Amino acid sequence: MERSSGILLHITSLPGKYGIGSLGQEAYDFVNFLVVSGQKIWQILPLGHTGYGDSPYQCYSAFAGNPLLINLEKLVVEDLLTSADLPENIYFDNEKVDYGKVQNVKYPLLHKAYENHKSQKNKLRIRQFENFCSKNKKWLEDYAFFMALKKHFKGAPWTQWEHDIKIKKQETFDYYQHRLEDDINYYRFLQFLFYKQWLELKAYANLNDISIIGDIPLYVAFDSSDAWANPEIFDFDERMNPNNVAGVPPDYFSETGQLWGNPLYNWEKLKETGFQWWIDRIEANFTLYDILRIDHFRGLAAFWTVPYGEETAMNGWWQKAPGAEMLQTVFDALGDLNIIAEDLGVITPDVVELRNKFNLPGMKILQFAFDSGEENDFMPHTFEKNYVVYTGTHDNDTTLGQYLQCSDEDKKLMHDYFHVDKDDPSWSFIKLAWFTVADVAIAPMQDVLRLDTHARMNFPGKASGFWQWRYTKNMLKEKHSDDLLKITRLYGR
């Protein structure tokens, strides 16, 4: 990738009405901010339909978008809703997403938009919808049916559904497809709206020379259409329960490791299919994004295996994965792809070898660099060009939050290494990231706004209370874009 820089900001964190960031005008305003600031990249988190816990890394589908991101005002412009339909006199916290409240307000309106679509019989929209369904049939049918069934079984995970539909017995499968036909079509329609709004926004970004970095979780959620529709490619027993699940051993974030609970892949079965599910998944993601960051890339070299039922991730073991074979198959099928390897955590020589085999850029996190207690390879003088450097990621505290909590020894190391303005450490770290030789430099929006721990997006290993942060319009000033433009030009990005 060319020498450039950008901002990490998830869609949910955008300002705007109705309790959550959306694909409306505020998203276009953010693209304009990037342009004025001289930036070339907008990095986001996974766009998937989130489930319990609201994590974008635990979604109902590896392909579907989150309906809560659909912008309601755009539906008014398209005559699917009226201005009178939009909620008034409902209080939303502008700096934190209340997902339950947002769902209660937005989903009835999205269903109303669907009913209006059916009654209006708009020929153009009908044909566009048909084309969308045909083009995305491979994943859309499984997802829409899964969501309709989930609604029918009152939100229960698929392993608790009626046995014959859980195992997809043909007679029962056909019965529910007919019975739930309208609900299935509703979930198809939500995806049509989401993809339409997202691809219009992406086109606007690309037109303004802004590339989108998207994020692909290595694993899928257990309660997902992927696991229900394709159980043979996962490590399940005869009852459709996982034999083992995903996680990581004790690390920087947790003394007992992180027990994610995602099903592991049956790599032998995936090999037999020519890794077709992975080809389809990555191809679909490159419809949504220009550049793809593979989260937990080390799991493609070897993955931490934890027996199902364990309460922590401590009692696990490393198991080799055929990542090189899979990636080679994907590249052979799809051609050259812009992929970033999230090579953080316990990194062994096989992970480095896999990343280098495909010449993929890795990641460097400046917040990890200044630990006076141990040596690390995050110090900027160790960097090479083929990296993406971050002040911090969505999993870290904000830079200001971390600086305020770090030890005097660590602060001394920072001050000995580079000039840290103790009154503005966030900006000092951004300047250091932009200064490095790494091809790409990225800062989370929280660091651009100089926010403390209260703006933290996520804390790995903690199941709830995160993914909620939003900024408000008045937080972002002209000075922010002026300052970004100045250092971007100064450091040749």
Residue 254 tokens, joined: 């947790």
Q: Note if 235 is an active site residue.
A: no
Residue 176 tokens, joined: 């529910």
53 sits in the region (left: phi over 0; alpha: psi -120 to 50; else beta) called: left
In 3D space, the residue among 334, 331, 55, 350 whose CA is nearest the CA of residue 219 turns out to be: 55
The 10 Å Cβ neighbour count of residue 209 is 11
Q: How many whole angstroms separate alpha carbon 296 and alpha carbon 322?
A: 15
In 3D space, the residue among 361, 52, 340, 31 whose CA is nearest the CA of residue 224 turns out to be: 52
Q: How many whole angstroms separate alpha carbon 416 and alpha carbon 364?
A: 20
> Out of 295, 343, 439, 447, which one is annotated catalytic?
295
**Concatenated DSSP letters of 66-103:** -GGGS-HHHHHHTTSS-GGGS--S----TTB--HHHHH
Inter-residue contact 466 to 448 (CB < 8 Å): no
Determine the residue type at 467. Answer: W
> Out of 54, 223, 226, 342, which one is annotated catalytic?
342
Q: How many whole angstroms separate alpha carbon 401 and alpha carbon 392?
A: 11
Inter-residue contact 210 to 42 (CB < 8 Å): yes
The 10 Å Cβ neighbour count of residue 272 is 12
> Out of 235, 395, 397, 439, which one is annotated catalytic?
395
Q: Note if 171 is an active site residue.
A: no
341 forms bridges with which residues in the sheet? 294
Inter-residue contact 102 to 68 (CB < 8 Å): yes
Inter-residue contact 16 to 24 (CB < 8 Å): yes
* 176-200 as b/e: b if 16+ CB within 10 A: beeebeebbbbbbbbbbbbbbbbee
Residues recognised as catalytic: 295, 342, 395
